[in-house]
Amino acid sequence: MDKNIKRIRENFPILKRQINESPLIYLDNAATTQIPVSVSKKIMDFDETYRANVHRGVHTLGMWATEYYESVREKVKNFIHAKSKKEIVFTSGCTDSLNLVAATYGEQNIQAGDEIVVSIMEHHSNLLPWQQLAIRKHAKLKFIELDSKQQLDLADAKNKITSKTKIVAVAQVSNALGCINPIKELAKLAHQNNAVIVVDGAQAVGHFDVDVQKLDADFYAFSGHKMFGPDGIGVLYGRKKLLEKMPPYRLGGEMIADVTREGAVWAPVPQKFEAGTPNIEGVIGLEGAIDFIECVGLNEIRQHEQYLIRYLLPRIQEITGIIVYGPKDASDRTSVISFNVHGIHPHDLATALDLEGIEVRAGHHCAQPLMKTLGVESTVRVSVAIYNSQEEMDKFLDILVQIKEFFQNGLR
Ligand code: PLP
């Protein structure tokens, strides 16, 4: 095994586990990545050294905890190249971030007859908030379809985004197809029509450098647990001038400047959107995750994922009876390959792989409209990360062929 990968794997004790008496091969990274020891240790250190509520007490511990918490906001701001840390809202995850935008910006700005444009490959988290908003407001939801390469059809986007469009909501990377979407071009189309663009970055952050200013994104959402961080923490980036005009999402402690019997004045952004005690440990863990990514290097991560996908993609495609979905060129993808094997249900295939210690995802990947468009109910999805090795890819390919032959020919 490559020395660097071996060294990186040392940070992930779970990778030494056996599953069903075989060494674990974890290929479900698009669902959740594993956590390096440095992240768990950072959370433990916080609890043993700084634990107190934030933005409340005047006591020293509370002030330390607040300073620490706010320093992570600065770190996230730098990580995604936002202009100001006021544009960084901590949420419970990507889903929460997207719901926040729909429930505040969407409620405030969408009227009957307006149009919201999403792509057909959206995860339900970036579809349902817009679909339900459109239903509530008697607005129209339009879908950008796939082109012949099973990527986002930019020509169709040009037709669908019009002067009636108020919101364009698209994933930077599809969790089911693995393709990278042309966010800059979509942002340009949205802005030419005075619409905003909401980007679902769940499958992009941590895979390559994300620069919200270069993308010209108005809102950008992502989750900690898909980038080596803990569960239950996420980020919403929003342009300050938009966040300032939006009503609060949830009401309660910490999000007010003043409360009287009759009314309330909201705290400035981003506190206006962080009601109640936040997930402080999650925020600390997120710092650890960014440190880990920066220590390995985003270029190295992208290169290694590309190396594995370039290795895997042609080898999967050459197995007879296998259909791979999404772009055929690895450079148009991140770390995801979705496929089906003729005559084998994805759940049966995933279960058979699991019996050999190989963990993959099977299902509709929370993208049912996309599955319908592809003409399937579900697929098997393999998703790699920086700690996966070429040897693991070989083992996966070997077992895949064996399972396929077993299902097709039975035991001889
Ligand atoms: N968007 C995409 C593209 C995803 O892949 C996912 C999760 O799989 C989400 C949104 C939702 O993320 P979370 O469950 O962390 O809120």
Which atom of ligand 1 has the smallest separation from the CA of 97?
16
For residue 199, give the 3-state DSSP assignment: strand
Token pair of 318 as six digits: 């050459």
- Please work out whether the CB of residue 293 comes within 6 Å of at least one atom of ligand 1: no
End residue of a domain, out of 265, 294, 323: 294
In terms of domains, do 156 and 108 share one?
yes
Amino acid, res. 169? A
- Residue 249 and residue 170 in one domain: yes
- Tell me: do 146 and 21 sit in the same domain: no
Domain closes at, from 230, 259, 294:
294
Predicted confidence at residue 304, as pLDDT, reads: 97
pTM > 0.85: yes or no: yes
Distance CA 14, CA 35 (A): 9
Q: Is residue 283 located within the same domain as residue 358?
A: no
Which tens digit of pLDDT belongs to each residue from 4-47? 999 999 999 999 999 999 999 999 999 999 999 999 999 999 99
Q: Choose, from 94, 179, 295, 366, the residue flagged as catalytic.
A: 366
List, for residues 320-374, the tens digit of each pLDDT value. 999 999 998 888 999 999 999 999 999 999 999 999 999 999 999 999 999 999 9
Residue 236 beta carbon below 6 angstroms from any ligand 1 atom: no
In a domain, 35, yes or no: no
Residue that the structure tokens 């393999």 belong to: 382
Last residue of some domain: 294, 321, 352? 294
Q: How far is the CA of 38 from the centre of ligand 1 (A)?
A: 24
Q: Of 87, 362, 91, which Cα lies nearest the Cα of 229?
A: 91
Query: What is the arithmetic mean of pLDDT over 303-323?
Result: 96
* Domain span including residue 63: 40-294
Tell me how far apart the alpha carbons of residues 154 and 140 are, in angstroms, rounded to a whole number: 20
How close is the Cα of 177 to the center of ligand 1, in Å?
14
Among 323, 328, 329, 315, smallest CA distance to 346 is for 323
Known catalytic residue at 295:
no
* 131 sits in which H/E element: helix 128-137
Please identify, by atom number, the ligand 1 atom nearest to the C-alpha of residue 366. 8
Residue 353 lies in a domain: yes
CATH of the domain at 405: 3.90.1150.10
Residues 160 and 272 in one domain: yes
State how far the Cα of 151 lies from the Cα of 19, in Å rounded to an integer: 35
Cα–Cα distance measured from residue 287 to residue 71, given in angstroms and rounded to the nearest whole number: 9
Asked whether the beta carbons of 139 and 147 are under 8 A apart, the reply is no
Question: What's the structural domain count of the chain?
Answer: 2
Let me know whether 276 and 315 are in one domain.
no
> Could you identify the atom of ligand 1 that is nearest to the CA of residue 225?
15
Alpha helices in 298-345 (DSSP H): 298-317
